[in-house]
Amino acid sequence: MKTSALSASRFLARLALPLGLVAATLAQEATTPSYLPSAEKAVRLERFEVSDRHEKTYFSQRSATATKTDTALVNIPQSLSVITRELIDDQSMQSIGDVTRYVPGAGIAQGEGNRDTPVLRGNSTTADFFVDGIRDDVQYFRDLYTVDRVEVLKGPNAMIFGRGGSGGIINRVTKQATGATNRELSFQVGSWNQYRTTLDLGAPLTPTFAYRITALYEDSESYRDDVTLTRYGINPTFAARLTPRTTLRTGIEHFHDERTTDRGVSSFQDRPVKTAAATFFGDPAQSPTQATVDTAYAVLDHAFSRDITLRNSTRFSRYDKFYQNVFPGAVNAAGTTVALSAYNQATARDNLFNQTDLVLPFATGSVRHQVLVGLELARQETDNLRLTGYFTTVSPTITSINVPLSTPRTTLPVSFLPSATDANNSGVAKTVAVYAQDQITLLPQLQAVVGVRFENFSVDFRNNRTAISLDSTDRLVSPRAGLIYKPADPVSIYTSYSTSYVPRAGEQLSSLSLTNRALDPEAFTHYEIGAKWDLRPDLAFTAALYRLDRTNVVIADPADITQSLLVDGQRAQGLELGLTGRLTARWSVVGGYAYQDGTIKTTQAITIVAGARLAQLPRHTLSLWHRYNLSRTWGVGLGTIYRDEIFASTDNTVRLPGFVRFDAALFHRLNARLRAQLNIENLLDRTYDAMAHSNNNITPGSPRAFRVSLTTLF
């Protein structure tokens, strides 16, 4: 642990930043959103009481994400994993990568060291993220300081969420002003100079008006040489009861993340290069990444009666993302040198989304219905600019150099200039979508969920480099159907079908071209059967079998390479098992097992041939986390993660070996208002490879790491 007095003093000096932001925010009338709160989350006044969050279970019984209605998980015909705040705190989770560790069927890819890239049922994504049910699709690293819980929905979800979501989506449900009193301040110190503090402060101001503020500041280094991270954020939220039946929630968030772009190590002889986990390939000094996200949102809820409700949500987000990297390529045949290249990319996007949802329950004879009808309007303006790195001190045209594999660093200056193929584009994407869903109780033991979304998605795109303007319009029809049989109230057996589409503009809205503009969008078709069993009110077992097909993949016509063909692209199928909740009054558990088989169905390129295994997809994964409370003041945690070997890319030439990792935790409540926590990652200090982006961008796993947290309720 490289603890230094200088870093500690710098951290303490900067600690004033989030607290100063909080004070400034309290003087303003800024506010924040909520997403379909359950009945107990209504705005209300509560006397402040010191509570021990860690005595709660990891299990959540209900969700308002998968159906946009407050529904018991056992009655949702889909695999859905809920990562509660209690589990986030106990495992000291701070990122989307942390969240996926204990979600069966989910993994994480490297994302070129500048973005979250989960892998859901064999499909990697950089855009299928949502906040309180509204799209959050720019490439950046998301923090969990505002989060009440994270919900991972697996399988296509276009009926509810629209285009994309090919393998699933990740929705962050944020902390909300509810009228309850929150006063929590947490400090964390960890290995490699990690310093982090978070604040959660909220209270009622009047019987009908409440606020809540969450804030974050972090200044950290890494087990990777010369890799640093600084991030901060503040999220003030307010809720006002305008009438007995009408509530308005509004808010803003400012979040900034700045770090070193780290693309890991290269490979040699079909395996990751054998080197110390700390070894950086490239030039960290010329590899910065930064993202700034500013968001304002408002949610208006009105209840016409106890059961008939109307919700209107508006969210505006401005993203400013830039990353630059000097990164590794292939190692030469002798294993003595490695190639280094460089580029940078800037993305600016403004998102404006408005959703209106009406929930209307009624009965037709003995058949009960809960109908949801909705309208979504969206406008997204995007600018992209990419520049290639030239090592001009070597030659004005050199874009790649070779350095010794034993010392894979460079300090040569790099000039970033536009090449003939670098992206320089602007675009406006517009969405108009209407959707309807019916949750039907056919018989006391038989339910159905059916719905369809009609979406008009249009893109006006300009290639600023060639001065060519393009446009495309996709009219997408996305059905969903599920049937649920309940032999007993806490048990369900279900089957479901859904589809989703990714238009030719791509998930980042920058892939439209003359050759693909008229082609049908890629399609994803999903079938699932499963079972859910609430063994007790705070313990659930789930099982699911699925098949997910990707079609309309573009390839060059072998008979005429100037023409394109659409073919079946890939199939992923597997089994997922999950167990979440409390085994005894003192023993909580969360975990799962997944068997996944994913293959390429049609040869698409020299490196993507029929029969190849999907990249980043382990055949077997197993994760299990336990927390056991030894007494009212002491608790221990133990986690086990097993991942089978994976291929770094679809050419199936480089393998990342399988591994087993153990994590541990120790919890101590010092008094009613103060608790301490120690988390240990990679308890046995095993060497392993955590994730990859390609054959030559592989991230070594962290050596044994410690985090010590102190949390006070004031």
> What ranges make up the beta strands (E) of 609-658?
620-629, 634-643, 646-647, 655-656
Q: How large is the average pLDDT for residues 120-145?
A: 97
Q: Which helix (H) or strand (E) holds 689?
A: strand 689-694
Please state which of the ranges 16-20, 233-237, 312-316, 691-695 shows the lowest mean pLDDT: 16-20
Q: Can you read off the two tokens belonging to residue 264? A: 């890991």
The whole-angstrom distance between residue 18's C-alpha and the CA centroid of its chain comes to 24
Question: Residue type at 428?
Answer: V
Question: Does residue 306 contact residue 291 with C-beta atoms inside 8 Å?
Answer: no
What pLDDT was estimated at residue 537? 92
Please state which of the ranges 1-15, 55-69, 265-279, 677-691 shows the lowest mean pLDDT: 1-15
Question: Does residue 253 contact residue 294 with C-beta atoms inside 8 Å?
Answer: yes
pLDDT tens-place string over residues 537-590: 999 999 999 999 999 999 987 888 778 889 999 999 999 999 999 999 999 999
- To the nearest 10 degrees (0 to 180), the angle between helices 5-14 and 16-26 is 10
What pLDDT was estimated at residue 156? 94
Question: Could you state, in order of their start, the residue ranges of all structural domains in the chain?
Answer: 5-403+425-670+701-713
Domain 5-403+425-670+701-713 belongs in CATH node 3.30.470.10: no
pLDDT tens-place string over residues 465-477: 999 999 999 999 9
pLDDT tens-place string over residues 269-318: 999 999 999 999 999 999 999 999 999 999 999 999 989 999 999 999 99
Q: Are strands 491-502 and 229-243 parallel, antiparallel or unpaired?
A: unpaired
What pLDDT was estimated at residue 56? 64
pLDDT for residue 319 is more than 60: yes
What pLDDT was estimated at residue 564? 87
What pLDDT was estimated at residue 561? 76
CB proximity list for 65: less than 8 A, separation 6 or greater: 35, 36, 80, 133, 151, 153, 160, 171, 173
How far is 209 from 514, CA to CA, in rounded Å? 54
How far is 570 from 75, CA to CA, in rounded Å? 30
The CA-atom distances, in angstroms, between 456 and each of 190, 358, 554 are: 49, 20, 22
Q: Are strands 689-694 and 697-700 parallel, antiparallel or unpaired?
A: antiparallel
pLDDT tens-place string over residues 21-54: 333 333 333 333 333 334 444 444 333 333 344 4
Q: Which helix (H) or strand (E) holds 26?
A: helix 16-26
Q: Are strands 129-131 and 168-174 parallel, antiparallel or unpaired?
A: parallel
| Residue 642 burial class via C-beta count within 10 angstroms: exposed 0-12, middle 13-18, buried 19 and up | middle
Question: Does residue 152 contact residue 83 with C-beta atoms inside 8 Å?
Answer: yes
pLDDT tens-place string over residues 98-132: 999 999 999 999 999 999 999 999 999 999 999 99
pLDDT tens-place string over residues 337-365: 999 999 999 999 999 999 999 999 999 99
**With the C-alpha atoms ordered 80, 85, 89, 93, is the resulting torsion angle positive or negative?**
positive
Burial 340-350, CB ≥16 within 10 A → b, else e: bbbbbbebbbe
Closest CA to 581 of 532, 639, 626: 626
Q: Can you read off the two tokens belonging to residue 202? A: 């909220």
3-state secondary structure 93-115: CCEHHHHHCCCCCEEEECHHHCC
Q: Which helix (H) or strand (E) holds 86?
A: helix 85-90
CB proximity list for 143: less than 8 A, separation 6 or greater: 94, 95, 216, 231, 233, 255, 257
What pLDDT was estimated at residue 27? 35
How far is 23 from 12, CA to CA, in rounded Å? 18
What pLDDT was estimated at residue 148? 97
| Residue 229 burial class via C-beta count within 10 angstroms: exposed 0-12, middle 13-18, buried 19 and up | middle
Q: How large is the average pLDDT for residues 143-164?
A: 97
The band of 11, judged by pLDDT with boundaries at 50, 70 and 90, is: very low
- DSSP annotation of 617: -
pTM for the structure as a whole: 0.92
Q: Can you read off the two tokens belonging to residue 392? A: 């001009």
How far is 336 from 291, CA to CA, in rounded Å? 36
- H-only helix segments in 146-200: 158-161
| Residue 214 burial class via C-beta count within 10 angstroms: exposed 0-12, middle 13-18, buried 19 and up | buried
Percent of the chain residues past pLDDT 70, beyond the cut: 92
Q: Which helix (H) or strand (E) holds 87?
A: helix 85-90
> What ranges make up the beta strands (E) of 191-308?
194-206, 209-220, 229-243, 246-260, 267-268, 271-272, 288-303
How far is 605 from 603, CA to CA, in rounded Å? 6
pLDDT tens-place string over residues 619-644: 999 999 999 999 999 999 999 999 99
| Residue 362 burial class via C-beta count within 10 angstroms: exposed 0-12, middle 13-18, buried 19 and up | exposed
Question: Residue type at 28?
Answer: Q
